[in-house]
Amino acid sequence: MDQQAHPTKTTLPGIGIRYDLVTLGGKHVSVVVRNDGRRYLGFHDPEDDDACTNTVPLDPGEAAALANLLIPEQLDPVRNEIEIDLVTEHIPITAKSPYGGRTLGDTQARSRTGASIVAVLRRTGATPSPTPDFRFATGDTLVVVGTREGVDAVADLIAGG
């Protein structure tokens, strides 16, 4: 499973912006984007994260070519054979909803509509893949995935229709 990289951004006053990325293997790479548009790829000493051991200046065309090489190709063999019409929507639990304070299992959303509640967003955080005993609260936002008809049916169900 791919892990999401988390680059950091540092403003360099009078120079530009430095983006840093530490790889899963512990390597530190940076890109400095100067105010004049020039870019530099930097490699850092594993013993001293602040010491840049080598830089590669890139003109705009070289930077664009390197970026294109680094972007993974989008492989979608299923889409080439079958058209899948899935939608994702955010559906709020309002004060009028009969499901505020009740569990996901109480909705029977998937069996009734064919759509799935894949996450619940709450002011205090997100709950991905909620279990049937997850209790909704007024103000929650449900992330629902399914066909247009199924997602609309979940919206009606949650609204009390």
| HEC string for 24-50 | CCCCEEEEEEECCCCEEEEEEECCEEE
Task: Quickly state the pLDDT bin for 1 (edges 50, 70, 90).
Answer: very low
Q: Which residue would you say has higher pLDDT here, 83 or 106?
A: 106
Q: Indicate whether 3 belongs to any domain.
A: no
> What mean pLDDT do residues 102-130 have?
94
- Measured over the CA atoms of residue 54, residue 58, residue 64 and residue 69, the dihedral's sign is negative
Residue 65 included in any domain:
yes
Would you say residue 87 has pLDDT above 80? yes
Higher pLDDT, 92 or 78: 92
Instruction: Read off φ and ψ for residue 115, nearest 5 degrees.
Output: -95, 155
Same domain for 32 and 94? Answer: no
Reading the block at residue 25, the tokens are: 């293997």
Domain match, 60 and 101 both: no
| Contact in structure between 136 and 103 (CB atoms under 8 Å) | yes
One-letter identity of residue 107 = T
Q: Is the pLDDT of residue 31 over 60?
A: yes
For 5-26, the pLDDT digits (tens) are: 778 888 888 888 888 888 888 8
Q: How far apart are the first and last CA of the chain?
A: 39
- 0.85 exceeded by the pTM? no
Task: Look at residue 46 in the predicted model and tell me its pLDDT.
Answer: 72
How many independent structural domains does the chain possess?
A: 2
User: Domain span at residue 116?
Assistant: 87-159
Same domain, 97 and 127: yes
Contact present, 58 and 65 (Cβ < 8 Å): no
For residue 146, is pLDDT > 80? yes
pLDDT band at 156 (very low <50, low <70, confident <90, very high): very high
Is 109 found in the same domain as 65?
Answer: no
Q: How confident is the model at residue 36 (pLDDT cuts 50, 70, 90)?
A: confident
Domain boundary among 70, 97, 114: 70
CATH number at residue 96: 3.30.70.1450
Phi, psi of 101 (to 5 degrees): 85, -5
